[in-house]
Amino acid sequence: MNPQFLMDGLVAGAMIGLGAIGVTLTYSILRFANFAHGEMLSWGAYLALAVSGGLGLLSTSLTKPIGPFSFGWSLPLAAVVAILLTGLLALAVDAVLFGRLRARGGAIIILVMASFGASLALRSLLEFIFTSKPAYYTKALQIAVKIGGGLRATPDQLLSLGLSLVAVVAIHLLMTRTDIGRSMRAVSENPALAGIAGVDVRRVIRVVWFVGAALACIAGIMTGLLVQIRPYLGHDLLLPLFAAAILGGIGSVPGAMIAGLIVGLSEAAAVQIVGAEWRAAVSFVILVAVLLLRPRGLFGRAA
């Protein structure tokens, strides 16, 4: 068996992990399974594409690949803008839809149903604007370099892995060492008590939407860079994202990344063993196993 699948699995797993952190945060603090989360990845990728393309038109020097990577400065610059815009998109959807349903005090199921509708609308809007034809940030090809152990990786892949690690550490530090992080954890455990203790719960909710969307945006851009950009990018990752968030334990940031890596590696291994067409079933198997055997996941709170 070619050990290269380990590299592929790691890279894919890092993307899934990054997205799963966003899912675990919003799920633990907002308390519902947001089926529209995948669309934040897709929108992030497309927004970065649009801004990057615009920047490229303004100045072609921005499209020249930086060092060993396949993209020019237009992409990192676009990424910053895209993160902001995706965050705003998430806040807008909450203001218009989820926030209103929450205020009415309806059950979780209504929020989940609404998230289907939002997911469908958001995804189809992308299809309408950009069509379903796959798009790419750059036409530059990359050569995979040997990194030892019989494995090869492109500079883009290594950069993505590095960035994912940085992102996980950053979010973990945010949650454990900052006021807002403590407030988020408090709201996740007991929103009513948090309010009594002086936490502005509405503000925390806004922060959570933004952070979740920002992470999704980064994950989407990375997937778009390493694979391709298409409207179903996020939707197709939804099951792996949920599987990873639940396997890691809802509310655990390191858990989500670790679980993401596990899912990515398992998918890559499955592709080797049973074939690529069964890739999507792996997440399902992991999900059912977790829900039946240990619903709180690896690092989650006991119910």
Strand partners, 152: 146
Dist CA 141 CA 155 (whole Å): 11
Q: Which residues of 168-199 are buried (b: 16+ CB within 10 A; e: fewer)?
A: beebbebbeeeeebebbbbbbeebeebeeeeb
In the complex with other proteins, the residue whose CB is nearer, 187 or 268, is 187
Shortest Cβ distance from residue 290 to other proteins (Å)?
Answer: 10
* Total count of residues recorded for the chain: 303
Alpha helices in 94-190 (DSSP H): 99-103, 108-130, 155-177, 179-189
Shortest Cβ distance from residue 74 to other proteins (Å)?
Answer: 26
Phi-psi label, residue 249: left if phi above 0, alpha if psi -120 to 50, beta otherwise: left
Dist CA 143 CA 164 (whole Å): 21
Shortest Cβ distance from residue 221 to other proteins (Å)?
Answer: 22
In the complex with other proteins, the residue whose CB is nearer, 152 or 296, is 296
In the complex with other proteins, the residue whose CB is nearer, 109 or 166, is 109
Closest Cα to residue 222, out of 232, 210, 234, 211?
234
Contact indicator for 19, 256 with CB cutoff of 8 Å:
no
Shortest Cβ distance from residue 54 to other proteins (Å)?
Answer: 21
Shortest Cβ distance from residue 197 to other proteins (Å)?
Answer: 5
Shortest Cβ distance from residue 243 to other proteins (Å)?
Answer: 8
CB atoms within 10 A of CB 242: 23
Dist CA 161 CA 11 (whole Å): 6
In the complex with other proteins, the residue whose CB is nearer, 97 or 269, is 97
In the complex with other proteins, the residue whose CB is nearer, 119 or 154, is 119
In the complex with other proteins, the residue whose CB is nearer, 61 or 131, is 131
In the complex with other proteins, the residue whose CB is nearer, 10 or 229, is 229
> Which residues lie near other proteins (CB under 8 A)?
31-33, 35, 97, 100-101, 104-110, 112-114, 116-122, 124-125, 127-128, 131-132, 179, 182-183, 185-186, 188-201, 238-239, 242-243, 246, 275, 277-278, 280-281, 283-284, 287-288, 291-292, 295, 301
Shortest Cβ distance from residue 140 to other proteins (Å)?
Answer: 29
C-alpha torsion 197→203→206→207, nearest 10: -70
In the complex with other proteins, the residue whose CB is nearer, 150 or 295, is 295
Dist CA 209 CA 188 (whole Å): 13
Q: How far apart are the first and last CA of the chain?
A: 40
Shortest Cβ distance from residue 203 to other proteins (Å)?
Answer: 9
